[in-house]
Structure 1
Amino acid sequence: MSLFGSSTPAPSKSSEDIKASPRAAAAAGKINEHCYDACVPAPGTSLSSKESGCLSSCMEKYIAMWNITSRTYIARVSQESKKMGGDASALVAMGTQ
């Protein structure tokens, strides 16, 4: 039996999902650290529309920055690997774990 009493078995996680979970948690922590502190100066029981908009904008910018940085890093590792005559996939995997 799976979550909430359903008779359908819960889907199993792939190894990629399991690897991604710690990365997603780390990214969420960083987003929280940077965006929440900047957008919510006085925490309360709910977010104002201004705070909510600020958080959305900040998260979108943070994720975009993360994606650009990741692509640039992977391209650089690949470039360096080609110079050294090695296999880039092993180097990229080292940097993304």
Structure 2
Amino acid sequence: MEMSLDNLSSAQKDELMTSVKQQIALANAQELLTKMTEKCFKKCVGKPGQELDSSEQKCIAMCMDRFMDSWNLVSRTYTQRI
């Protein structure tokens, strides 16, 4: 089934664009969370057990903070350049 954007009204095109942007933002957020979780867990948890000890919890929290700070910096810089 082929869909032509030419047949859509301006309002429908705007609605479609908004929906696509939301889906992209959601996919990016999911990717960010997955990467952050994998990297910080690998860095901070040497031997997984039943629960995280306090040093592992602190390491993961700090790692996630640094990861988010870095992500935000890259995102702002990228946005300014386009």
Counterpart in the other structure of 1:41: 46
Unaligned runs of 5+ in 1: 1-13, 78-97
Aligned-residue offset at 1:58: 0.3
Deviation at residue 29 of structure 1 after TM alignment? 1.2
* Secondary structure of 1:43's aligned partner: coil
Q: How far apart, CA to CA, are the structure 2 residues paired with 1:17 and 1:76?
A: 22
- C-alpha distance in structure 2 between counterparts of 1:26 and 1:45, whole Å: 26
> Structure 1 residue 22: deviation in Å?
1.1
Q: Distance in 1 between matches of 2:64 and 2:57?
A: 11
Q: What is the CA RMSD across the aligned residues, in angstroms?
A: 1.5
Count matched residues: 64
What letter corresponds to residue 69 of structure 1 in structure 2?
V
1:29 and 2:29 aligned: no
Q: Deviations over 1:39-81 (max 9, x none)?
A: 001011110010000000000000010000010011112xxxx
Structure 2 unaligned blocks of 5 or more: 1-17
The normalised TM-score by structure 1 is 0.60
Which structure has more RCO (C-alpha within 8 Å, separation ≥ 6)? 2
Within 2, Cα distance between the matches of 1:37 and 1:30? 11
Separation of aligned partners in 2, 1:51 and 1:62: 16
Match of 1:51 in 2: 56
Deviation, structure 1 residue 17: 4.3
Output the TM-score relative to the length of structure 2. Answer: 0.70
Percent of counterpart pairs with the same letter?
36
